Amino acid sequence: MYEQGSICPICGTGALEKKVIEEVFTYKGHSLNVPEYVLFECADCGEALIAPASSKRASKLLKEFSREVDGLLSTTEIKRIRKKLGYTQEEMADICGGGLKGFARYESGQVMQSKGMDNLLRILDELPYALDVISRRPARRFAKVVSLVEYRNKNSYTYSEPSNDVASSEKKKSALG
């Protein structure tokens, strides 16, 4: 890690000077100010090296900002919808697609959801019964549901690891059908 006075790895002669600035990022014409942005600037060659922690934090903030600019659900909203439906991250991924680790990554801000996934989550938020459609169960349009948890328990959905094993995938298919 760099510190004040470290020798510059770029030119090999200059000493690094620590600077704390407010960096401005732009995304599609919108600006995001990131305060407390730490970088080390070389007095000789002028190269600026960004502190890894600042770079990591900025990247996360920038992803969240891009979501906002693009009109996509925030990490908090994704988590809220998933919790409302009553599923774990893995179960949600199994139902909605996007890869097993997809929801963990959306919620931690590591990865941005696609527009399609975003639309799907918005639909599930407003119309939880759409789960019946995508989990290939018969529609229950007229069911009177007291709470989502009850709904879920009534329609017990069991999650299983994806498998290449033919017998188990056949079993899964018939369980869902």
Binding residues for Zn ion (CB under 5 A): 8, 10-11, 14, 42, 44-45, 47
Partners of 37 in the beta sheet?
21
Minimum distance from CB of 13 to Zn ion (Å)? 7
- Who's near 93: CB < 8 A, 6+ residues apart? 99, 100, 101, 102, 103
- Plot region of 43 (φ>0 → left; ψ -120 to 50 → alpha; else → beta): alpha
Q: Which is nearer to Zn ion, 42 or 58 (CB)?
A: 42
Minimum distance from CB of 76 to Zn ion (Å)? 41
Q: Which is nearer to Zn ion, 16 or 96 (CB)?
A: 16
Q: Which is nearer to Zn ion, 45 or 127 (CB)?
A: 45
Minimum distance from CB of 3 to Zn ion (Å)? 15
In degrees, rounded to 5, the angle at the alpha carbon of residue 150 between the alpha carbons of residues 147 and 151 is 85
* HEC readout, 37-52: EEEEEECCCCCEEECH
Report d(CA 131, CA 152) in Å as an integer. Answer: 10
Minimum distance from CB of 70 to Zn ion (Å)? 37
Minimum distance from CB of 10 to Zn ion (Å)? 5
- Dihedral of CA 40/46/49/55: which sign? positive
Q: Which is nearer to Zn ion, 42 or 92 (CB)?
A: 42
Q: Which is nearer to Zn ion, 17 or 132 (CB)?
A: 17
